[in-house]
Structure 1
Amino acid sequence: MSIFGLSACQNLPPIKTVGQVDVDRFMGDWYVIAAIPTIMERDPYNPVEHYEKNPDGTIATTFTYNQGALDGKLKVYHPTGFVVPDSGNAEWKMQFLWPFKSEYLIAYLSDDYQHTIVARNKRDYVWLMSRKPVIDQATFNQLVEKTKALGYDINKLEIFPHLNAKAPSKQPL
């Protein structure tokens, strides 16, 4: 069965990114509301991505979360983002460990820069993020629906709790 799943994934078209991202507006804190997480994101609570533009145009990124509980051990990572030229600033490469760079595609971005979906063509990881640590159920459902439309198995999404915030529930779509 996994052979069929792999084959289906390979037949999906490339993820279409948003047309244009104003990098300056994209900078700042993004709360990870839900994700199909990487191996580095083990049992995250309070996950936050912070972006800051460096003078050379790269993106200084700080990813923090508490492991295992809202007051669990603080984990901090500092990857560097590289905006891909001629991508409308919607495609980045993230480098956690030199010389390897991972695909980072801004597949959805609300007009007010309050919600985003970051995806990968492999459909192995995805992040649903917001400028606030909590979003209403309707917005969450819309982000999940958009994630599903990108070709992701939304049953793999994990919802992450944040301090003083009620997490949305993953409801059947």
Structure 2
Amino acid sequence: MTRRSRAAVHAGRLFSARLTLMRIVLILAVLLVLLFALGHDAMAKPPARDKRPPLSTKAEIDLARYMGRWWVIANIPYFAEKGKVESADVYALRADGRIDNTFVYRKDFDHAVKDMKGLAEVVPGTNNAQWRIAFLGGLVKVDYLVLEVAPDYSWALIGHPKRKLGWIFAREQDMGDEQYQLLLAKMEGYGYDTTQFRRVPQKAEQQGQPGFQ
């Protein structure tokens, strides 16, 4: 290779390096502009904060009566339960005072029954109304508030301190619209936006109906 050709190769490499550097600088400049724009928008429109105090409960729960199967009549859909049908929570009191929590469900009515197991601990001094439930060996933990139960333990209202989760349970698999609306009104009284609730199909004919998941 002659001196002239070596110089040409060197010049080409230098030009390519400069071009690459210019591209990097241009990309960084675009990113900075985007970050500034997003930051400015975030400062101009701060997210609305929930100024309400965390939800609490004053319910007094008889654990022995509360155990057993509760059908999930409605909930605020979230990743673990969204789209599930014929779902229920089954509770069993252990000798050590903790509670086995088995969530049973189907992905669809023609699918087999599956389950998800958790372990609940009652928070001391809460009249058995506040639990902490651990799933997946403790990787996922959920605060569980029993807000209210029927005198005969035929239905229960379950909440979460931040109101991001909520459930309506019943001992019977089906619930009439009038009873359901009464319980929704109770949830509204606990500060919930009840438009977030969706009924869980317990029968195939309920799928796709207004108000159902």
Higher strand share: 1
Q: Post-superposition shift, 1:135?
A: 1.3
Give the alignment of 1:73-112 within 5 angstroms: 73-97=112-136, 98=138, 100-112=140-152
Once residues 99 and 43 of structure 1 are traced to their aligned partners in structure 2, the CA distance between those partners, rounded to angstroms, is 23
Counterpart code for 2:80: M
Once residues 46 and 171 of structure 2 are traced to their aligned partners in structure 1, the CA distance between those partners, rounded to angstroms, is 36
Q: Could you say if the C-alpha distance between residues 32 and 151 of structure 1 is closer, same or farther in structure 2, counting changes exceeding 3 Å?
A: same
Q: Deviations over 1:46-68 (max 9, x none)?
A: 0110000010000001101111x
Q: How many residues align?
A: 165
Once residues 210 and 67 of structure 2 are traced to their aligned partners in structure 1, the CA distance between those partners, rounded to angstroms, is 28
1:147 lines up with 2:187 in the alignment? yes
Q: Deviations over 1:23-74 (max 9, x none)?
A: 000000000000003311131110110000010000001101111x222343
Once residues 153 and 206 of structure 2 are traced to their aligned partners in structure 1, the CA distance between those partners, rounded to angstroms, is 22
Q: Post-superposition shift, 1:100?
A: 4.6
Name which structure has the greater RCO, CA cutoff 8 Å, separation 6+: 1
Equivalent residue, structure 2, for 1:28: 68
Match of 2:88 among 32, 48, 55: 48
Equivalent residue, structure 1, for 2:47: 3
Once residues 176 and 140 of structure 2 are traced to their aligned partners in structure 1, the CA distance between those partners, rounded to angstroms, is 36
Higher helix share: 2
Equivalent residue, structure 1, for 2:106: 66
Asked if structure 2 preserves the Cα contact closer than 8 Å seen for 1:36 and 1:126, the reply is yes
Asked if structure 2 preserves the Cα contact closer than 8 Å seen for 1:18 and 1:109, the reply is no
Q: Could you say if the C-alpha distance between residues 75 and 22 of structure 1 is closer, same or farther in structure 2, counting changes exceeding 3 Å?
A: same
Decide which structure has the larger Cα Rg and report it. Answer: 2
Once residues 165 and 108 of structure 1 are traced to their aligned partners in structure 2, the CA distance between those partners, rounded to angstroms, is 29
1:118 lines up with 2:158 in the alignment? yes
Unaligned runs of 5+ in 2: 1-44
Q: Could you say if the C-alpha distance between residues 66 and 100 of structure 1 is closer, same or farther in structure 2, counting changes exceeding 3 Å?
A: closer
Secondary structure of 1:128's aligned partner: strand
